[in-house]
Amino acid sequence: MTSGDRPGRLDQQKGRGVRRRRRTAPAPKTGAVQGWTAQAPYLVVLVGVLVGLIACFGSFKVGSFLMAASLIFGAVARGVMAESRVGFLATRRRTTDVIVLAVLGLGIGFLGWVTHAT
Task: Supply the pLDDT for residue 69.
Answer: 97
User: Which residues lie below 8 Å from residue 73, measured CB to CB, with a gap of 6+?
Assistant: 41, 44, 45, 48
- Name residue 92's amino acid: R
Work out how many domains the chain is built from and give that number. Answer: 1
Residue 91's pLDDT is 85
Whole-prediction pTM: 0.68
Full domain range(s) for residue 81: 35-118
Determine the distance from the C-alpha atom of residue 103 to the mean position of all C-alpha atoms in its chain, rounded to a whole number.
17
Q: Is residue 83 part of a domain?
A: yes
Torsion of CA 108, 104, 87, 85, to 10 degrees: -90
Q: Is 114 among the domain residues?
A: yes
Residue 25 lies in a domain: no
Residue 65 lies in a domain: yes
Going by C-beta distance under 8 Å and a sequence separation of 6 or more, which residues neighbour residue 90? 78, 83, 97
Per-residue pLDDT of the chain (118 residues; tens, 9 = 90+): 555 555 555 555 555 666 667 777 655 555 555 677 778 888 999 999 999 999 999 999 999 999 999 999 999 999 998 888 888 888 889 999 999 999 999 999 999 999 976 5
pLDDT value for 64: 95
Report the pLDDT value the prediction gives residue 61, as an integer from 0 to 100.
93
Does residue 47 sit within a domain?
A: yes
> Distance from CA of residue 4 to its chain's centroid?
55
Decide if 15 is inside a domain: no
Residue 46 included in any domain: yes
pLDDT for position 45: 94
